[in-house]
Amino acid sequence: MDLGIKGKAAVVTGASRGIGRETARQFLEEGVRVVICGRNAEALERTRAELAQQTGGEIHAVVADMTKPADIARLIETATQKLGGVDILINNAGQMYSGRFAVMTDEGLKEQLETKLFGFLRAIRLVYPQMKAKRWGRIVNLIGGAGKEPDPYMFGSGITNSGLLNITKSLSTEFGEDNVLVNAVCPGWVATNLWQRNAQGLQEELGVKSEEEARRLAARKNSLGRFGKPEELANAIVFLCSERASYITGVSLNLDGGRLKGLW
Ligand SMILES: NC(=O)c1ccc[n+]([C@@H]2O[C@H](COP(=O)([O-])OP(=O)(O)OC[C@H]3O[C@@H](n4cnc5c(N)ncnc54)[C@H](OP(=O)(O)O)[C@@H]3O)[C@@H](O)[C@H]2O)c1
């Protein structure tokens, strides 16, 4: 299927690894020109070089911390200069803030809100005027299931994610008349570094002795009984940015192998 986005310009935040990296790779395969960012310069440059070599596409890297407004401004400015504008924004940079109420700190929650809630909002604020002027834009926010179904172990992420779902729906309504589509995806457990960093906490939460057992128990909660792969997330993200998804806005797609059992 021709996705109809060849030549478009995309910014993918947090793309030195995981879901962001795979999303950038698939855009490049589609002929989309891409700018990626991350905080670790070495890892980011390695990814840029590997993806350029693998796909032959146009990709630039900007070291940027999405908790810092000045870095976000520099990222979007550089993308605009290098690519001649931004048609697609993938708000992906982030981590999971796990743990129950008893261990949640104000600082931990503030950091997550800065990275995901404010980081996503600030990037949208900068790209929207360009998209509005062209009457074409795609924004996809990477959120997470705890925003829809509160989980005590995911208290901090749940708070952030609910806010992001509200932002997604609200902005999809506001930007609709400009043909700027705003959607979200809610990953379940995906096998990335992020999961790895949470493995020990989850092991304790589930009361099991090994990481393998924690992984098995966590996976059993979804209908497919396994973790997702970054490319399975990227398939849907890239589709939502395509011309084929031209009548889809304001949705939050659960990409979780059937983990959430609610009706939305
Ligand atoms: N994997 C899951 O199971 C899962 C579940 C629910 C939601 N999600 C969401 O999906 C998104 C991607 O997750 P992932 O699993 O692919 O994570 P990952 O493998 O840890 O990759 C995260 C990427 O974001 C970058 N990053 C993190 N904080 C950043 C910041 N402040 N500024 C700029 N870049 C930053 C990281 O690079 P640097 O560290 O070098 O900055 C890295 O490139 C996240 O928003 C996450 O919350 C994932």
The 10s digit of each residue's pLDDT in 169-225 is 999 999 999 999 999 999 999 989 888 888 888 899 899 999 889 889 888 889 999
Which residue, by CA, sits nearest to atom 48 of ligand 1?
187
| CA–CA separation, 130 and 80 (whole Å) | 9
Region label for 250, one of left (φ > 0), alpha (ψ between -120 and 50) or beta (otherwise): left
Closest CA relative to residue 175, chosen from 88, 73, 251, 249? 249
| Closest ligand 1 atom number to CA of residue 20 | 16
| Closest ligand 1 atom number to CA of residue 146 | 6
Closest CA relative to residue 45, chosen from 85, 15, 20, 82? 15
pLDDT score of 195 = 83
Q: State mean pLDDT over 76-105.
A: 96
Residue 258 falls inside a structural domain? no
Q: How confident is the model at residue 145 (pLDDT cuts 50, 70, 90)?
A: very high
Distance of CA 112 to the CA centre of its chain: 14
Indicate the top mutation candidate among 92, 121, 229, 252 to test ligand 1's pocket, ranked by most ligand atoms within 8 A of CB.
92
Q: Do 140 and 51 fall into the same domain?
A: yes
User: 90 CB less than 6 Å from ligand 1?
Assistant: no
Q: State mean pLDDT over 237-243.
A: 98
Indicate the top mutation candidate among 42, 51, 96, 233 to test ligand 1's pocket, ranked by most ligand atoms within 8 A of CB.
96
User: 140 CB less than 6 Å from ligand 1?
Assistant: no
Which residue, by CA, sits nearest to atom 28 of ligand 1?
94
Q: How far is the CA of 92 from the centre of ligand 1 (A)?
A: 6
Residue 2 falls inside a structural domain? no
Residue 3 falls inside a structural domain? no
Cβ atoms of 99 and 112 within 8 Å: the answer is: no
pLDDT score of 9 = 98
Q: Do 125 and 205 fall into the same domain?
A: no
* Boundaries of domain holding 211: 194-227
pLDDT score of 194 = 87
Share of the chain above pLDDT 70, in %: 100
Residue 4 falls inside a structural domain? no
Prediction pTM value: 0.98
User: 38 CB less than 6 Å from ligand 1?
Assistant: yes
Q: State mean pLDDT over 89-102.
A: 95
Q: How far is the CA of 74 from the centre of ligand 1 (A)?
A: 20
Q: Do 155 and 242 fall into the same domain?
A: yes
Q: Do 133 and 60 fall into the same domain?
A: yes
Q: Do 158 and 204 fall into the same domain?
A: no
Q: What is the CATH number of the domain that holds 67?
A: 3.40.50.720
Give the chain's mean pLDDT: 96
Q: State mean pLDDT over 227-240.
A: 98
**Predicted confidence (pLDDT) at residue 146 exceeds the cutoff of 90:** yes
Region label for 94, one of left (φ > 0), alpha (ψ between -120 and 50) or beta (otherwise): left
Q: 206 exposed, middle or buried (CB, 10 Å; 0-12, 13-18, 19+)?
A: middle
**Predicted confidence (pLDDT) at residue 17 exceeds the cutoff of 90:** yes
Q: Total structural domains in the chain?
A: 2
User: 192 CB less than 6 Å from ligand 1?
Assistant: yes
Which residue, by CA, sits nearest to atom 44 of ligand 1?
94
Q: Which residue has the tokens 């959607």?
A: 183
Residue 212: its H or E element: helix 211-220
Cβ atoms of 40 and 46 within 8 Å: the answer is: no
pLDDT score of 1 = 85
Long-range CB contacts for residues 95-99, cutoff 8 Å, separation at least 24: 95/194, 95/197, 96/144, 96/154, 96/157, 96/194, 96/197, 96/198, 97/154, 97/156, 97/157, 97/160, 98/153, 98/154, 98/156, 98/157, 98/198, 98/201, 98/202, 99/153, 99/155, 99/156, 99/201
pLDDT tens for 28-74 read 999 999 999 999 999 999 999 999 999 999 999 999 999 999 999 99
Indicate the top mutation candidate among 194, 253, 255 to test ligand 1's pocket, ranked by most ligand atoms within 8 A of CB.
194
pLDDT score of 196 = 83
CA distances from 29 to 25, 32, 48, 70, 246 (A): 6, 7, 14, 31, 20
pLDDT score of 123 = 98
Q: Do 200 and 244 fall into the same domain?
A: no
Closest CA relative to residue 96, chosen from 178, 10, 18? 18
Q: How far is the CA of 3 from the centre of ligand 1 (A)?
A: 26
Q: How far is the CA of 136 from the centre of ligand 1 (A)?
A: 27
pLDDT score of 64 = 98
User: 11 CB less than 6 Å from ligand 1?
Assistant: no
